Amino acid sequence: MTAKLRRPAMTFTITQLCREFGATARALRYYEDQGLLAPARQGMARVYSYRDRARLQIILNGKRVGLSLAEIRDILSLYGQGDGEVAQNALALRKFRERIVAFERQRQEIDEAIDELRRASARMEQRLAEQQGDRQVA
Partner DNA sequence: TAACTGATTGACGTTCACGTAAAGGGAAGG
Partner DNA sequence: CCTTCCCTTTACGTGAACGTCAATCAGTTA
Binding mask 61-100 for DNA (x = CB under 7 A): --x----xxx------------------------------
Angle at 68 between CA 99 and CA 85, to 5 degrees: 75
10 binds, among DNA, a second copy, none (CB under 5 to 8 A by kind): none
80 is a contact residue toward a second copy (CB under 8 A): no
User: Helices marked H in the chain — which ranges?
Assistant: 14-21, 25-33, 50-64, 69-76, 84-137
89 binds, among a second copy, DNA, none (CB under 5 to 8 A by kind): a second copy
CA distance 37 to 35: 6
Q: Which CB, 63 or 99, lies closer to DNA?
A: 63
42 phi and psi angles, rounded to 5 deg: -125, 95
CA distance 25 to 83: 32
In the complex, least distance from residue 82 CB atom to DNA, rounded to whole angstroms: 28
Residues that bind DNA (CB under 7 A): 13-16, 24-27, 29-30, 43-46, 63, 68-70
